[in-house]
């Protein structure tokens, strides 16, 4: 099997490549900017071939896909039709898509968070290529959004402190991708990937505090104040979508599935374990 892994500057792509190599599979790492890949993805083995593949630029597809049997794909809708045409011409038989559980919400095509994933899912499932959909929920690493405030002020501002999610470790997603890419019986299915427990935002902050060995206060703020605070780096439509999601999940436990264990053979890693491993980011 010869696999193209796109998005190798990301946490999941960079973790997946060495897993494939470890198990004896031929793998090619792809990035929009491959010249900087070795510096930003230190986990990549030094002898892994690196190619340019900008999922919004069809001119990069043919060379990246040459000789490839399977693809781990990030959800970029702008070039998906051309990518599928190039994949078909190259003889690609299987694509595993890193999608999002946000597509499971009502009317995903109109949701700024879900729309790109939904559009790519639609294109893939309408194509003749066997498609496997990996739909993770909130990443454990999303907690890094609180790190600067925790280091500087020892606190986190939350508009809905009781909002639930089931945070998942990115390593579990990479291992799930390894399973579907290397085991044919697991292909052609949609998997909802979650962590092992539903936690409120306040509970996650508490686990970070325990791991970091310091108190972290949770400040309940109004949605309007939170939106102003993030306006410099988060587009308004995405901020509104996140506020709507956290409001809808306030006090309501998130779904927890066993898909990680089904695919990897081990239970999903806990958020407490992730917090322990990354505690330094939440210390002064």
- Residues whose CB is less than 8 angstroms from the CB of residue 148 and which lie 6 or more positions away in sequence, other chains included: none
Q: Are residues 122 and 54 in the same domain?
A: yes
Segment-wise mean pLDDT, segments of 10 residues, the chain, 284 residues: 93 94 94 69 75 96 97 97 98 98 94 95 97 98 96 97 98 98 97 98 98 98 95 92 94 98 98 98 96
Helix axes 223-230, 236-248, angle to 10 degrees: 140
Contact 142, 229 (CB under 8 A): no
Q: Are residues 208 and 93 in the same domain?
A: no
Output the pLDDT for position 37.
66
pLDDT digits (tens, 9 = 90+) for 211-268: 999 999 999 999 999 999 999 989 999 999 999 999 999 999 999 999 999 999 999 9
> Is the pTM higher than 0.75?
yes
Compute the half-sphere exposure of residue 126: CA atoms within 13 Å on the CB side of its CA: 10
Domain that holds residue 113: 2-136
Residue 178 lies in a domain: no
Please report, for the domain that includes residue 132, its CATH number.
3.40.50.720
Q: Quote the number of domains for the chain.
A: 2
Distance CA 157, CA 219 (A): 5
Q: Are residues 71 and 130 in the same domain?
A: yes
Q: Are residues 102 and 15 in the same domain?
A: yes
Contact 171, 139 (CB under 8 A): no
Output the pLDDT for position 41.
47
Residue 53 lies in a domain: yes
Please report, for the domain that includes residue 205, its CATH number.
3.90.25.10
Compute the half-sphere exposure of residue 64: CA atoms within 13 Å on the CB side of its CA: 29
Distance CA 171, CA 267 (A): 12
The strand pair at 190-193 and 50-52 is best described as: unpaired
Contact 2, 67 (CB under 8 A): yes
Q: Are residues 146 and 277 in the same domain?
A: yes
- Of 121, 136, 151, which one is at a domain's C-terminal end? 136
Partners of 72 in the β-ladder: 5, 96
Rounded alpha-carbon distances, angstroms, from residue 281 to 74, 170, 172: 27, 17, 21
Cβ burial of 109 (10 Å; 0-12, 13-18, 19+) is exposed
Output the pLDDT for position 43.
59
Output the pLDDT for position 61.
98
């Amino acid at each position: 099997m010869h696999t193209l892994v796109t998005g190798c500057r990301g946490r999941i792509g960079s973790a997946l490549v060495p897993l494939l190599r470890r198990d004896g599979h031929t793998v090619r790492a792809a990035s929009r900017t491959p010249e900087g890949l070795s510096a930003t993805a230190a986990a990549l083995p030094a002898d892994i071939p690196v190619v340019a593949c900008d999922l919004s630029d069809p001119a990069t597809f043919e060379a990246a896909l040459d000789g490839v049997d399977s693809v781990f794909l990030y959800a970029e809708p702008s070039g998906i039709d051309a990518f599928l045409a190039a994949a078909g011409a190259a003889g690609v038989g299987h694509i595993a898509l890193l999608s999002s559980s946000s597509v499971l919400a009502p009317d995903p095509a109109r949701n700024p968070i879900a729309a790109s994933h939904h559009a790519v899912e639609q294109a893939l499932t309408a194509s003749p290529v066997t498609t496997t959909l990996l739909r993770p929920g909130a990443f454990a690493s999303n907690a890094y959004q609180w790190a600067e405030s925790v280091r500087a002020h020892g606190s986190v501002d939350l508009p809905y402190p009781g909002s639930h999610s089931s945070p998942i470790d990115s390593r579990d997603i990479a291992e799930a991708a390894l399973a579907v890419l290397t085991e044919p019986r697991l292909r052609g299915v949609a998997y909802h990937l979650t962590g092992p427990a539903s936690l409120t935002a306040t509970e996650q902050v508490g686990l970070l505090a325990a791991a970091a060995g310091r108190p972290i206060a949770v400040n309940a703020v109004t949605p309007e104040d939170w939106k102003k605070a993030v306006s410099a780096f988060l587009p308004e439509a995405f901020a509104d979508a996140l506020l709507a999601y956290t409001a809808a999940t306030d006090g309501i436990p998130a779904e927890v599935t066993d898909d990680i264990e089904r695919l990897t053979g081990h239970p999903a890693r806990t958020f407490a374990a992730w917090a322990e491993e990354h505690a330094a980011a939440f210390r002064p």
